[in-house]
Amino acid sequence: MSKKIAILHTSFVFVSVEPIINELIAELIPDAEVMHFVDSDVLATVVREQGISAKSEERMTHLAEAAEAAGADIIFSACSSLGPALDVAAAAVHTPIVKIDDAMAAEAAMLGERIGVLATVPTTLQPTSDLIQGAADRLGKSVTIEQRLCAGAFDVLMGGDRPGHDAMVTEQAMALAGSVDIIVLAQASMNRLATSLSEATGLPVLSSPRMGVAYLAERVAAL
Protein backbone atom coordinates (compact mmCIF):
# COMPACT_ATOMS: atom_id res chain seq x y z
CA MET A 1 0.00 0.00 0.00
CA SER A 2 1.43 3.39 -0.98
CA LYS A 3 2.42 5.81 1.77
CA LYS A 4 1.43 9.45 1.96
CA ILE A 5 4.38 11.83 2.13
CA ALA A 6 3.70 15.44 3.09
CA ILE A 7 6.34 17.94 1.99
CA LEU A 8 6.54 21.20 3.93
CA HIS A 9 7.74 24.20 1.92
CA THR A 10 8.66 27.69 3.15
CA SER A 11 8.98 29.26 -0.30
CA PHE A 12 7.92 28.32 -3.82
CA VAL A 13 11.49 27.43 -4.87
CA PHE A 14 10.87 23.64 -4.87
CA VAL A 15 7.33 23.99 -6.13
CA SER A 16 7.99 26.11 -9.21
CA VAL A 17 11.70 27.00 -9.62
CA GLU A 18 13.65 23.82 -8.77
CA PRO A 19 11.44 20.68 -8.88
CA ILE A 20 14.33 18.42 -7.77
CA ILE A 21 12.57 17.01 -4.69
CA ASN A 22 9.53 15.89 -6.69
CA GLU A 23 11.82 14.28 -9.26
CA LEU A 24 13.83 12.40 -6.61
CA ILE A 25 10.73 11.12 -4.82
CA ALA A 26 9.34 9.93 -8.17
CA GLU A 27 12.63 8.09 -8.75
CA LEU A 28 13.35 6.70 -5.26
CA ILE A 29 9.83 6.26 -3.80
CA PRO A 30 7.76 5.85 -6.99
CA ASP A 31 4.62 4.50 -5.34
CA ALA A 32 4.37 7.31 -2.78
CA GLU A 33 1.45 9.70 -2.72
CA VAL A 34 2.87 13.20 -2.33
CA MET A 35 1.12 16.20 -0.79
CA HIS A 36 2.56 19.73 -0.62
CA PHE A 37 2.00 22.20 2.20
CA VAL A 38 3.33 25.69 1.53
CA ASP A 39 3.76 28.79 3.68
CA SER A 40 5.45 30.89 1.03
CA ASP A 41 6.20 33.79 3.37
CA VAL A 42 7.67 32.16 6.47
CA LEU A 43 11.23 31.90 5.09
CA ALA A 44 11.08 35.57 4.08
CA THR A 45 9.91 36.38 7.60
CA VAL A 46 12.80 34.48 9.19
CA VAL A 47 15.30 36.23 6.90
CA ARG A 48 13.74 39.62 7.68
CA GLU A 49 13.73 38.97 11.43
CA GLN A 50 17.20 37.36 11.29
CA GLY A 51 16.01 34.39 13.28
CA ILE A 52 13.13 32.09 14.12
CA SER A 53 10.50 33.73 16.30
CA ALA A 54 7.85 31.92 18.33
CA LYS A 55 5.36 33.00 15.67
CA SER A 56 7.43 31.33 12.92
CA GLU A 57 7.65 28.16 15.01
CA GLU A 58 3.86 28.30 15.34
CA ARG A 59 3.46 28.60 11.56
CA MET A 60 5.61 25.51 10.95
CA THR A 61 3.66 23.64 13.62
CA HIS A 62 0.44 24.57 11.82
CA LEU A 63 1.86 23.21 8.54
CA ALA A 64 2.83 19.95 10.24
CA GLU A 65 -0.59 19.70 11.89
CA ALA A 66 -2.28 20.28 8.53
CA ALA A 67 -0.16 17.52 7.00
CA GLU A 68 -1.07 15.16 9.82
CA ALA A 69 -4.78 16.03 9.49
CA ALA A 70 -4.55 15.21 5.78
CA GLY A 71 -3.43 11.69 6.64
CA ALA A 72 0.31 11.92 6.01
CA ASP A 73 2.30 8.83 7.03
CA ILE A 74 5.52 10.86 7.19
CA ILE A 75 6.44 14.55 6.89
CA PHE A 76 9.46 15.78 4.92
CA SER A 77 10.74 19.29 5.61
CA ALA A 78 12.30 20.85 2.51
CA CYS A 79 13.65 23.94 4.29
CA SER A 80 17.04 24.10 6.00
CA SER A 81 16.52 27.51 7.63
CA LEU A 82 13.50 26.35 9.62
CA GLY A 83 15.13 23.19 10.99
CA PRO A 84 14.87 24.27 14.64
CA ALA A 85 11.19 25.15 14.15
CA LEU A 86 10.60 21.61 12.90
CA ASP A 87 11.90 20.28 16.21
CA VAL A 88 9.12 22.29 17.87
CA ALA A 89 6.58 21.05 15.31
CA ALA A 90 7.68 17.44 15.83
CA ALA A 91 6.68 17.68 19.49
CA ALA A 92 3.16 18.77 18.49
CA VAL A 93 2.37 15.96 16.03
CA HIS A 94 2.50 12.16 16.11
CA THR A 95 3.60 11.84 12.48
CA PRO A 96 7.38 11.33 12.06
CA ILE A 97 9.28 14.29 10.57
CA VAL A 98 12.42 13.99 8.40
CA LYS A 99 14.55 17.04 7.58
CA ILE A 100 16.05 17.30 4.12
CA ASP A 101 19.56 17.80 5.50
CA ASP A 102 19.67 15.17 8.28
CA ALA A 103 21.53 12.64 6.13
CA MET A 104 23.88 15.24 4.62
CA ALA A 105 24.92 16.51 8.06
CA ALA A 106 25.72 12.97 9.20
CA GLU A 107 27.79 12.32 6.06
CA ALA A 108 29.70 15.61 6.41
CA ALA A 109 30.60 14.85 10.03
CA MET A 110 31.80 11.40 9.06
CA LEU A 111 33.92 12.50 6.06
CA GLY A 112 35.33 15.88 7.04
CA GLU A 113 37.35 17.55 9.77
CA ARG A 114 37.48 21.08 8.33
CA ILE A 115 33.98 21.51 6.98
CA GLY A 116 32.86 24.49 4.92
CA VAL A 117 29.16 25.42 4.97
CA LEU A 118 28.10 27.49 1.96
CA ALA A 119 24.71 29.23 1.95
CA THR A 120 22.80 31.75 -0.15
CA VAL A 121 20.37 32.63 2.66
CA PRO A 122 21.95 33.76 5.95
CA THR A 123 19.44 31.92 8.11
CA THR A 124 20.56 28.48 6.88
CA LEU A 125 24.15 28.83 8.06
CA GLN A 126 23.64 28.22 11.77
CA PRO A 127 20.97 25.48 11.58
CA THR A 128 23.08 23.52 9.08
CA SER A 129 26.25 24.03 11.12
CA ASP A 130 24.40 22.93 14.27
CA LEU A 131 23.17 19.75 12.56
CA ILE A 132 26.73 18.91 11.47
CA GLN A 133 28.13 19.67 14.92
CA GLY A 134 25.45 17.48 16.50
CA ALA A 135 26.32 14.63 14.15
CA ALA A 136 30.04 15.05 14.94
CA ASP A 137 29.30 15.04 18.67
CA ARG A 138 27.40 11.78 18.31
CA LEU A 139 30.43 10.32 16.53
CA GLY A 140 32.74 11.64 19.26
CA LYS A 141 34.64 13.53 16.56
CA SER A 142 36.22 16.99 16.67
CA VAL A 143 35.44 19.18 13.64
CA THR A 144 35.86 22.82 12.69
CA ILE A 145 33.08 24.45 10.69
CA GLU A 146 33.65 27.53 8.52
CA GLN A 147 30.56 29.39 7.37
CA ARG A 148 30.41 31.28 4.09
CA LEU A 149 27.46 33.35 2.87
CA CYS A 150 26.88 34.02 -0.81
CA ALA A 151 24.83 37.13 -0.15
CA GLY A 152 22.06 37.96 -2.60
CA ALA A 153 22.35 34.81 -4.70
CA PHE A 154 19.01 33.33 -3.57
CA ASP A 155 17.18 36.50 -4.61
CA VAL A 156 18.93 36.32 -7.99
CA LEU A 157 17.75 32.70 -8.39
CA MET A 158 14.17 33.52 -7.37
CA GLY A 159 14.25 36.33 -9.93
CA GLY A 160 14.93 33.72 -12.62
CA ASP A 161 18.63 34.38 -13.27
CA ARG A 162 20.16 30.94 -12.85
CA PRO A 163 23.51 31.76 -14.53
CA GLY A 164 23.94 34.81 -12.28
CA HIS A 165 23.17 32.74 -9.18
CA ASP A 166 25.53 29.96 -10.29
CA ALA A 167 28.43 32.35 -10.92
CA MET A 168 28.02 33.92 -7.47
CA VAL A 169 27.95 30.52 -5.74
CA THR A 170 30.95 29.24 -7.69
CA GLU A 171 33.01 32.30 -6.76
CA GLN A 172 32.31 31.83 -3.04
CA ALA A 173 32.97 28.07 -3.21
CA MET A 174 36.37 28.72 -4.75
CA ALA A 175 37.20 31.21 -2.00
CA LEU A 176 36.09 28.76 0.70
CA ALA A 177 37.98 25.79 -0.78
CA GLY A 178 41.39 26.99 0.38
CA SER A 179 40.66 26.47 4.07
CA VAL A 180 38.43 23.37 4.22
CA ASP A 181 38.52 19.73 3.10
CA ILE A 182 34.82 19.31 2.33
CA ILE A 183 32.05 21.72 1.30
CA VAL A 184 28.43 21.38 2.39
CA LEU A 185 25.76 23.21 0.38
CA ALA A 186 23.40 24.51 3.04
CA GLN A 187 20.45 24.80 0.67
CA ALA A 188 18.96 22.30 -1.71
CA SER A 189 18.48 25.15 -4.20
CA MET A 190 22.23 24.83 -4.98
CA ASN A 191 21.96 21.09 -5.62
CA ARG A 192 22.51 21.07 -9.39
CA LEU A 193 25.88 22.82 -8.85
CA ALA A 194 27.34 20.09 -6.64
CA THR A 195 29.21 18.27 -9.42
CA SER A 196 30.59 21.40 -11.10
CA LEU A 197 31.66 22.87 -7.74
CA SER A 198 33.44 19.64 -6.83
CA GLU A 199 35.28 19.71 -10.16
CA ALA A 200 36.16 23.40 -9.75
CA THR A 201 37.40 23.11 -6.16
CA GLY A 202 38.83 19.58 -6.20
CA LEU A 203 36.90 18.86 -2.98
CA PRO A 204 33.95 16.64 -2.08
CA VAL A 205 30.78 18.75 -2.24
CA LEU A 206 27.72 17.50 -0.41
CA SER A 207 24.17 18.50 -1.29
CA SER A 208 21.05 17.44 0.56
CA PRO A 209 18.30 16.45 -1.91
CA ARG A 210 19.38 12.97 -3.05
CA MET A 211 20.77 11.99 0.36
CA GLY A 212 17.73 13.46 2.08
CA VAL A 213 15.22 11.68 -0.14
CA ALA A 214 17.20 8.42 0.03
CA TYR A 215 16.99 8.63 3.84
CA LEU A 216 13.29 9.45 3.53
CA ALA A 217 12.88 6.32 1.38
CA GLU A 218 14.48 4.23 4.13
CA ARG A 219 12.11 5.72 6.71
CA VAL A 220 9.09 5.13 4.45
CA ALA A 221 10.13 1.50 3.87
CA ALA A 222 10.31 0.99 7.65
CA LEU A 223 6.77 2.30 8.26
Cα distance between residue 20 and residue 89, in whole Å: 24
Average pLDDT in the 60-80 region? 94
215 with 199, same domain?
Answer: no
Answer yes or no: is pLDDT of 14 > 70: no
Domain count, the chain: 2
80 with 124, same domain?
Answer: no
Q: What is the pLDDT of residues 154-189, one digit of tens each?
A: 889 888 899 999 999 999 999 999 999 999 999 888
Structural domain containing residue 54:
4-100+210-222
Measured from the Cβ of residue 65, the count of other Cβ atoms closer than 10 Å reads 15
Give, as one character, the DSSP assignment of residue 188.
G
Average pLDDT in the 57-84 region? 93
Q: What order do you get walking across the sheet with 205-206 strand by strand? A: 144-149, 114-119, 182-185, 205-206
196 with 106, same domain?
Answer: yes
Average pLDDT in the 126-151 region? 94
CATH number at residue 139: 3.40.50.1860
36 with 131, same domain?
Answer: no
